[in-house]
Amino acid sequence: MPIFEFVCQDCGTPFEELVRSANAVGEVSCPYCASDRVIKQISTFASQVAGSAGSITAAPAASCSSGSL
């Protein structure tokens, strides 16, 4: 089970949370102020593992997304 890093939007406290599934990410709340306005940080561990074709399929279709014309 991966551990994600979150940052609370209300108190600004960074914390780590063990998330069992992708759906559970939305259920994470701040352990300090109990706010559910948290943002998942990009893990440095996930960026290093770039060769494993896991369940995360985030394909950024970044081609001409700025909108010409």
> In Å, what is the CA distance from 4 to each residue of 9, 21, 61?
16, 11, 24
Closest contact distance (angstroms) between CB of 45 and Zn ion is 23
Which CB sits closer to Zn ion, 28 or 30? 30
Q: Which stretch binds Zn ion (CB under 5 A): 15-23, 34-42, 52-60, 61-69?
A: 34-42
Distance CA 35, CA 10 (A): 7
Residue 33 interacting with Zn ion (CB under 5 A): yes
Residue 11 interacting with Zn ion (CB under 5 A): yes
List strand residue ranges (DSSP E) for 1-61, in order.
Answer: 3-8, 14-18, 38-40
Which CB sits closer to Zn ion, 8 or 19? 8
